[in-house]
Amino acid sequence: MMHIPTVPFGLRILVLCSAVLLFQSVWAADEKPQADERLQKLLKRFPAADKNKDGTLTRAEAIEYRNNIRGVNGNGVKPTLGDMKYGDHARNVLDFYQAKSDQPTPLVIYIHGGGFVGGSKRMNPRQLQKFLDAGISVAAIHYRFINGKDILLPEPQRDGARAVQFLRSKAKEWNIDPKRVACYGGSAGAGISMWIGFHDDLADPKSDDPVERESTRIQAIGTFGGQSTYDPIKIKALIGGRAWEHPSIFKAYGVETAEEALHPTPEQQKRYNESSAITHLTKEDPPLYMVYSEADGPLPENARPGQGIHHPNFGRDLVKKMNELQIENVFVYKPKDRDPHREMLEFFQKQFAKVE
């Protein structure tokens, strides 16, 4: 019998890690992106990397799997305070990284993506260090995942807003400037960041909970592959194809069929509106820096369900309305010769400088 040599486990890990490193500079789409051949080849070899078991390996899943099997913290920077509780749910935790400063520092809050069903608060270590070197403290949060039953949209958004309030309540203790706060993230994290930025202030001055008395208003937003709306009817009109059939859209509202999704009850339509950032946009809202990398143009006739869920038309939708309201915004598409993370940092610094 012919002897077939086996590949040592360490070598297999090295192959996966090397492949993942090729994609760590790609910022869009923590959520289900257009399939990449190299990622899907990795999926065949490492099926356990597909955390949400949807049959598609995302960059975020590959990076998280790599970090887990190597037994390392993906940040490379130890939090000043780790897994701090900001709410009642098990996933209402955040990591806080304090920048060295004698004066209260601005704060940037990172909100991860993952289709509202996966993802981690582990940050890109280089980006984290850039914020800290610039004298900006950082928080990275977890939030509740949707389950199609009792946790639907906009509960993850409300978790994000609660995190903002909690961090403001710690301003004096953690040396944070509560007037200089920004949120950013990719995909679902982008949607949450925009929702926080555009939504009316959720502060309740009369609440018995001191955290709830804090403002949810922020001074700047950064997004990668963000969706302006989570209304499947509007997504169908804006993107075309089958982007609106993304499984997370159905799960987000507890619907099971296209008929239910496209013909909502008045109560369901109210939830669509409440969950979508753009429906809350008014002229008083903060500036937005947005990056898109997914393929442009009409979707193919054989598009998969969910394909196009990071389409740049979401950004163009935001640009149009924000321009009408005269709100500062930056739209970046396929930034091949640019460093959008550096630009976003500078954008935040510019907005923080405007605060008196």
Is 1 inside a domain boundary? no
pLDDT category at 75 given cuts 50, 70, 90 is low
pTM: 0.82
197 and 331 belong to one structural domain: yes
pLDDT category at 50 given cuts 50, 70, 90 is confident
Is 43 inside a domain boundary? yes
pLDDT at 4 over 50: no
pLDDT category at 68 given cuts 50, 70, 90 is low
Is 78 inside a domain boundary? no
pLDDT at 16 over 50: no
147 and 47 belong to one structural domain: no
pLDDT value at residue 64: 67
172 and 281 belong to one structural domain: yes
Is 76 inside a domain boundary? no
- The string over 336-354, giving b where at least 16 C-beta atoms fall within 10 Å of a residue's C-beta and e elsewhere, is eeeebbebbbebbbebbee
Domain count, the chain: 2
What is the DSSP code string of 42-102? Answer: HHHH-GGG-TT-SS---HHHHHHHHHHHHT--TTSS--SEEEEE-SSSTT-EEEEEPPP-S
59 and 183 belong to one structural domain: no
Domain with 51, as residue range(s), is 36-63
CB 40 within 8 Å of CB 57: yes
pLDDT category at 73 given cuts 50, 70, 90 is very low
pLDDT-above-90 percentage for the chain: 77
* Residue 3 CA, distance from chain mean position: 48
* pLDDT tens per residue, range 319-353: 999 999 999 999 999 988 899 999 999 999 999 99
pLDDT value at residue 39: 82
> For residue 269, what is the domain's CATH number?
3.40.50.1820
pLDDT at 60 over 90: no
pLDDT value at residue 58: 80
Q: Backbone phi, then psi, for 28, in 5-degree steps?
A: -75, 160
156 and 40 belong to one structural domain: no
* pLDDT tens per residue, range 143-188: 999 999 999 999 999 999 999 999 999 999 999 999 999 999 999 9
pLDDT at 34 over 80: no
pLDDT value at residue 164: 99
Question: β-strand 105-111 against 288-292: which pairing, if any?
Answer: unpaired
